[in-house]
A = this chain, B = another copy of it.
């Protein structure tokens, strides 16, 4: 089977054997935003043409390819969503001699009724899930997701615009003059996480990023790590329930490391989904692929 994790800006292709073992992986900057209307089939041929010629007949796609701007819109599935229901909601698209299915994204509502959506993360969550115990899964990023999973079911999830807020506030406000990229600075990051637990709220805490540099002589590289800790700290303090079990982190190793540190500083525990166990998106595509109603 061929599995595609087709996001907004990037595309990853996996060639997966019947036993679930990954035979090959490819990456390309061919995300949905870069594909011209009607160009999805050609992009698939570009990235996996030789695999198809070699006899692959099944293609399963997760991510933004199922959005309105994608290959074909696949409606969101509401939470709670059984893993099997996610596979059952995949929609076929016509493509040469192969069978292509696109997985749905998931939708949820928070307790105030405000909608939540994800596309692609559900497949990574399925891939990282093991056992039936209830667990919290966090996918850090531009729009971080925190999902509750139990018994092969995604019960619900919540999003945090942390990564984008970091880029916008660090890049498009007066703080841009106050922060500077540098080596990791765990102590400054921890200061930011601690600050997130103090009174005043995020909008007040942001102002202090600047004044600590101007008046207290904090280095600009430390200020950047502090800003990162401040934002991740605010996210974690809201997302982590008291007495939560170990959080499973999925994603970029360095970012997951920062989240693990922040979770531990907030009194929680976390483990990073080990790439040694296999890429979560690839594992999820393989698992969901077992439940797709392939014709052949």
Contact = CB atoms under 8 A, between A and B. Distances in A.
Interface of A: 107, 110-112, 114-117, 142-143, 158-162, 164-165, 167-169, 171-175, 195, 198-208, 211-212, 214-216, 231, 234-235, 237-239
Given A164-B174, A172-B171, A173-B164, A203 B234 contact: yes
Contacts of A162: 203
Given A115-B216, A171-B172, A201-B238, A165 B211 contact: no
Given A172-B172, A238-B204, A198 B112 contact: yes
A62 B159 CA distance: 44
Contacts of A174: 142, 164
B159 A207 contact: yes
A180 to B, nearest CB: 18
Contact of A160 (B112, B173, B207, B212): B207
Contacts of A204: 110, 158-161, 235, 238-239
B172 A114 contact: no
B234 A115 contact: no
Nearest to A146: B204
Contacts of A234: 201-203
Contacts of A201: 160, 202, 234-235, 237-238
A164 B169 CA distance: 8
Interface centre among A158, A202, A207 (most CB of B within 10 A): A207
A194 to B, nearest CB: 9
A162 B203 CA distance: 6
A163 to B, nearest CB: 10
Contacts of A238: 199-201, 203-204
**Oligomer: number of copies:** 2
Contacts of A168: 168-169, 171-173
Contacts of A161: 169, 173, 175, 203-204, 206-207
Contacts of A160: 201, 203-204, 207
A202 B142 CA distance: 15
A164 to B, nearest CB: 4
A280 to B, nearest CB: 22
Contact of A116 (B116, B172, B173, B207): B207
Given A201-B234, A234-B201, A115 B211 contact: yes
A167 B172 contact: yes
Contacts of A167: 172-173
B173 A207 contact: no
A204 B112 CA distance: 12
A168 to B, nearest CB: 4
